[in-house]
Every structure is written in C-alpha cells, then in structure tokens.
Amino acid sequence: MDAATAQTGNGETPAGGNGQVLAVRAAGWVSVALLGAYLINIVLTIYLGIPGVTALGGEDGAIGSFVVLLAYAVAIVLPIIFVARTPGRGLRADAAAMSALVNFIIRAAFWSVVLIGVVDAAISFLRVEGFLTALTGEALAGELGRSHYRGTWIHIPLVAIGFLLALRTRTLGFQWLALLVVLAELVIVIGRFVFSYEQAFQGDLVRFWYGALFLFASAYTLFDDGHVRVDVLYAGMSDRAKGKVNAIGSVLLGLALCWVVLYFGMGEKSSIVNSAMLSFEVSQSGFGMYVKYWMASFLAVFAVTMAIQFTSTFVEGVADWRGDPGKRETTPTGGQ
C-alpha cells in the first residue's frame, strides 16, 4: 500500500486523502443521513399526518411535502459537503464516529426502558392493590388506567429524561439491564413460592427488559465482533480479505436486512411498529404494564442501530481492505 494512501495512526489521511477514501466516506455518511431522513419522513407523514412527497404538486399539504423532500435532499448534499470539507479525515475516524452515534442511541434507549419499566410497574402495582386512587385521586387514577394518557404524560417525558441521561453518561448499561432482568425474575419466584403472590405486571416487566436487552445489545455486539460467525473460510483469511468480506457483506446482507425491517415495520400506518405506537397498544391483562407498544418500537431501535453499525463496519472494512494502519483489535467469538 502506497504511503500516500494510507491512514495515519490518528485516523487522518496524509496529503488530502484520495478519491477512493472520499467516495467511501461520502457513501457511508449519506447512508446514515438517509436513514435519519426516512425516520423524519415517517414521523411527519404517519404520526403527524403531513402529506408526503407524492402530494408536492397539490394544493393541500404542499409545505409539509416540501419539508419531507428537503430532508432527503439535505441527507444527500450535507454529507457530501462535510466529506469535501474534511479531505484529511480518515475512514477509521468516520467509522468510530458512526459507532459513537450508535452508542448514544443505545444509552438513551437503555435509560428509557429502565425508567419506564420502574415507573410503569409501580403504577400497575398501585392500581392492582387499590392504592392508586388514594394517592392520586379518582380522576387521575382513571386517566392513568388509559394507555393514551399514560403513554403521553408518563412514558414520553421519561424517554426525554433518558436521552438527557445518555448525554451525561458513557456506560451502555447492558450489565445493569441484565441484572435488573434477573432481579425482576427473582422477585416473581420469591413472591410466587414464598408469599403466593403474582401479578401480570411482573411478567410484563421481565419481558419488557429482556426484549430491550436482546435487541439493544445487538449493534454493540456487532461492533465488538461478538456475534457467532460460523464460517471456516473466514477464520483463515488475511486482514485485508476479512475487510473485503466485511465491507461487501455489511452492504449486501446487513444493510439490506435492516432496510427491509424498517420498510415493512414502519412503511405504513398499519405496519407492525406504527400500528402499535399509534394506538398505544397494551396487553389484554387489565392490570398489566402498558408497555406493549414500546416493545414494538424495540424492532425499530434494533434496525436503526444495526443499520448505522453496519455502515460503520462497511467503512472500517474498506480501511482493512486497503491495509490502512490503526486497525481496531477485537476479541471475536464463534468460528473465528
């Protein structure tokens, strides 16, 4: 590899980089930005009822349609401008930045599910034991029994707090979430066999946290190369060959799968994620937790974080393919 095309140890490219690096960087950031534009489109058109780009030529909703179209245009132009203005920035630096974005989303999701789980379980416990009316009054207790009210005035503010906590913390919290799952299950066992006490919200809490643990941790596991890889050919490849496989596989298999999940899960109002979120769907048990619709959103969080991480893997794979220095060391599992 020519020294002029290699990255330095700090993630920069000497002498302004080259066309291949700029093209890969632009493709990566455009992919991430288009993902953001797609989510903005979903929120505006499905959740806020603003007409999409198909209504741009009509009189009704022209402004809203223009905003949606503008979001996609910005998602293409802005990353290209960023790459053009930072020609000395290397592939590994961009890959690390994308992984940092994934980690922030995961941290925010972790804090959100912990806060929602604790608060919603407490409300459900007070309801089933008849204490809620005495504490809040009959009117508020009745409102807290409606999923729309609890979701709007309890859950969404807790999600906002979760994002604020994610800005102040650095741990991803998987170990703590796993511990909470064990403790919640332990409470069920002790309550059932010692006190003959068990309620629907207890099982809901375990499922809620376990689903979050499994789906939120997937992107970080990909970053750390911790997914089981059953591939006898890959194990014996050189670093450059592995980089080539990772780069191509991330696009053809990883990103393709994530976009299929996002399209069929969020493409229409009747899609599995949107229908649950729009109706604040809950379980059939009357005194269970009102978090079923959040569990549907876990699928969207999984697809978004995995899509960004696959993009990071693509960029880093190209860096390995080129033989750029500064390769990140991992402790892979499985067949490697």
Question: In the predicted model, is pLDDT for residue 15 greater than 80?
Answer: no
Task: Indicate the pLDDT class of residue 68, thresholds 50, 70 and 90.
Answer: confident
* Residue 229 pLDDT: 65
Could you give the C-alpha distances from 210 to 110, 119, 162, 178, 312, in angstroms and in order? 11, 17, 18, 8, 26
Could you give the C-alpha distances from 314 to 31, 114, 177, 189, 247, in angstroms and in order? 11, 32, 29, 45, 4
Top-confidence residue, 110 or 172: 110
- Centroid of chain to Cα 44: 19
- Residue 298 CA to residue 304 CA, distance in Å, equals 10
Question: In the predicted model, is pLDDT for residue 246 greater than 60?
Answer: yes
In this prediction, residues 52-72 reach a mean pLDDT of 69
Sign of the CA dihedral running 204, 210, 212, 214? negative
- Residue listed under structure tokens 């059953």: 230
* Residue 285 pLDDT: 73
Top-confidence residue, 191 or 12: 191
Half-sphere exposure of 168 (CA within 13 A, CB side): 6
Asked which of 34-48, 139-153, 161-175, 202-216 is least confident by mean pLDDT, the reply is 161-175
| Mean pLDDT value across the chain | 86
* Residue 50 pLDDT: 79
CB atoms within 10 A of CB 153: 12
Asked which of 83-92, 219-228, 319-328 is least confident by mean pLDDT, the reply is 219-228
* Residue 16 pLDDT: 39
Half-sphere exposure of 11 (CA within 13 A, CB side): 13
* Residue 272 pLDDT: 94
In this prediction, residues 181-196 reach a mean pLDDT of 91
User: Strand ranges (DSSP E) for the chain?
Assistant: none
Residue 67 region, left (φ>0) first, then alpha (ψ -120 to 50), else beta?
alpha
Asked which of 51-55, 78-82, 237-241, 322-326 is least confident by mean pLDDT, the reply is 51-55
* Residue 14 pLDDT: 43
**Residue 208 is encoded by which pair of tokens?**
């809620």
